[in-house]
Structure 1
Amino acid sequence: MKKKWIIGGIVSVVVLGGAFGVSAVSGNDQFAESAVDFSQKEAEAAAKEEVDGLKIEKVEKDKEDGISIYEIEGQTEDGKEAEVEVDANTGEVVQVEHNEDDSDETSAEDLKVKKEEAEKTAKDKASGSEMKEMEIDDGHYEFKFQDDAIEYEVTVDGQTGEVIEFEKDKLEK
């Protein structure tokens, strides 16, 4: 009889321990602010510096590929939605995306900004790296640049010449 109680107790401990272990592993991808080098306020300041007139509406903590990221969403002065991702350990802005209304798609012939001008804008944003790819999609120029350690993706609005999306990824060695 005593063996049954001991075995039952052990089984209960194993089952409960497994359940807690699974919930800890599969829990959210958030991080503790004390575990990173840059605070949420510093990340918000970096986002506002990157996107002029950004009014922050939402900040989420997330992990992407093992990197702690602040995802900052808001609106610009002209009413466009913007999302900025800031590395929580370096304070570096790793992605900027401006969400615009896609209802009035434009063709390549309708672009007001010339390819050369868009390429110069994108290359400046990508720290002068070498261009690897360019395409036109929905009235935007999409560029990929690369140097020894980093790949950049830059999207330039074909009507305004502004950078509307920027992403920077470290290359795997």
Structure 2
Amino acid sequence: MKSKFKLVIGGIAGVVLLGGAVGVGAISNSGDKTGKAVSAQQELISKEEAKNIASKETKGTVENIELDEEDGRMEYDVDLHNEKDDDIDVEINAVNGKVLKVDYDRDDRDDDNDSEASADVKITKEQAIKIAQKEQKGTITEIELDDGHYEVEIHDGNKETEMKIDGNTGKVLEKDTETDDD
């Protein structure tokens, strides 16, 4: 009877010790709020370095800078403004300083006169129309060049399709079709 009692007490003690060890391991490996281990964090470039990189990339004046996590990596999101009245968003890898993305917001330009904006793309409006019509039947009701891509609306009966076409490659980036249920 004493050996069974010792065996049960020994088993309980083992479970308690094992549970404690697992708990200590979990606490020591806990990381930041993203769940990544703290030890895996890398040294980040400074905000000042990110501002300099963005300013050189776009020749704009920095208005705001934020550090965010995007797709599992740390990035600086830098908002700038230039003398052409463009609002520019530059995304920079916060570890190595590489420019990941540059977006220009050109809302002040006339949508009917794409000559200035089209200098930034290789695909003409007419080519974008052909690409859209090849992808989807219907009547094109709207086409607009915005931030290096064409936004196209096509109507076919009770279906409306919105498409985004890359202004340099002609690749369809997004396609969304909705049906009117009237």
Q: TM-score, normalised by structure 1?
A: 0.47
Structure whose alpha-carbon radius of gyration is higher: 2
